[in-house]
Amino acid sequence: MSSGQWMQVLAQAHRQTVTGLVYLALEKHPVQVPDNIVMELMRRVNLLANKNIKMRTVEASVLGIFSQLHPVIMKGSTCAARYPSPELRESGDIDIYFNPEEYPAALDLIPVGYSTNKDEGVTFTMNGRVVEVHSRYYDLHTSKVPEPATPEGELVMLAAHIFKHAAGPGVGLRQICDFALAWRAYGGGNMHQVFRDAGLGKWSRLLLSFVHDYLDPSVEVKYLNPKPLLRIVEERGNFGHHSKSREKILNGPVFLRKADTALRILSRLPFALRYAPSEAIHRVHELASPS
């Protein structure tokens, strides 16, 4: 491959927030890479590792604030711990869940001002990092879910989170890697019934088929063609941020971002109805509800 082609690989890795995984893959399976690409990849990996070290320091401080309660880290460092090199898993915000009984007490412990978000709980900033505090563990509209922060619960939470973004602005490969590693860690067990109970039976088959075809062929699945999901991953990248039209919207006013998200949800409605119809109907109902 030429330097230009390798730069395209790095650009796609950035879009999918898997630069660290590309580095690990080349380390494990050496191929001939131009020197300028090696230097650029090393630069990006060093920046990523340093960023994650700082992120873990902030996370420890945040957990210290809530030490008298029972905070649960969602995604983030919990997923990173399953990677061969946790510091090379790219992170965004720090997401923390509290059960409904502890949630009000958690808000009282936040040492700085916070803003309320209907979908994300509340957010505040610590040492330059955004922290989201949730009283809702699942991006789902059903009570037929496992106990939060159990192996079954985490798998459902990750699958639901991927669906929410795939059926809206977009989703990247890293979120699916998180799910694949959790699946490998916990094993299938009775998860197929758990997913069906949560309204994600067909969606979980699509997600696992994607994992089987593109990440881990040892995964056993009642197969569905994963190409529809692959197209979404390729088109929009991490949370849809790398769609050209989305990039401009993200730098604009809040109401434009919300309107754009609503339009993207509606544009993905046939996809959502096909793989998780009950969730798709609930999401349309939410869009139509005045709030």
One domain, residues 179 and 215: yes
CB 169 within 8 A of CB 283: no
Residue 121 lies inside a defined structural domain of this protein: yes
CATH (domain of 127): 3.30.460
The domain tally of the chain equals 2
DSSP alpha helix (H) spans, the chain:
3-15, 19-28, 35-65, 76-80, 103-109, 151-166, 173-186, 191-197, 201-214, 227-236, 244-250, 254-267, 269-275, 277-288
Residue 290 lies inside a defined structural domain of this protein: no
Distance CA 55, CA 127 (A): 9
Tell me the residue type at 155. Answer: L
CB 280 within 8 A of CB 269: yes
> Looking at residue 190, what is its pLDDT?
81
One domain, residues 107 and 177: no
One domain, residues 184 and 95: no
Mean pLDDT of 32-40: 91
Closest CA to 162 of 151, 178, 150: 178
pLDDT per residue as tens digits for the range 172-185: 999 999 999 999 99
SS3 95: strand
- pLDDT of residue 119 exceeding 80, the answer is no
One domain, residues 112 and 230: no
One domain, residues 15 and 92: yes
Distance CA 229, CA 163 (A): 10
Residue 143 lies inside a defined structural domain of this protein: no
- pLDDT of residue 255 exceeding 80, the answer is no
Here the tokens at position 23 are: 């580095």
Tell me which residue range forms the domain holding 246: 151-281
CB 131 within 8 A of CB 94: yes
One domain, residues 28 and 59: yes
Place 247 in a pLDDT band, splitting at 50, 70 and 90: low
Among 100, 134, 168, the domain boundary falls at 134
> Looking at residue 113, what is its pLDDT?
82
Residue 242 lies inside a defined structural domain of this protein: yes
The one-character DSSP state at 86 is G
One domain, residues 104 and 174: no
Mean pLDDT of the chain: 89
Which residues, 6+ apart, have CB-to-CB distance to 202 below 8 Å?
Answer: 224, 274, 275, 276
265 CA to centre of own chain: 17
Direct distance between the N- and C-terminal alpha carbons of the chain, in angstroms, rounded to an integer: 52
Higher pLDDT, 11 or 248: 11
Residue 82 lies inside a defined structural domain of this protein: yes
One domain, residues 120 and 45: yes
The one-character DSSP state at 9 is H
> Looking at residue 57, what is its pLDDT?
94
Place 134 in a pLDDT band, splitting at 50, 70 and 90: very high
Distance CA 259, CA 108 (A): 32
Distance CA 275, CA 291 (A): 27
pLDDT per residue as tens digits for the range 40-84: 999 999 999 999 999 999 999 999 999 999 999 999 999 999 999
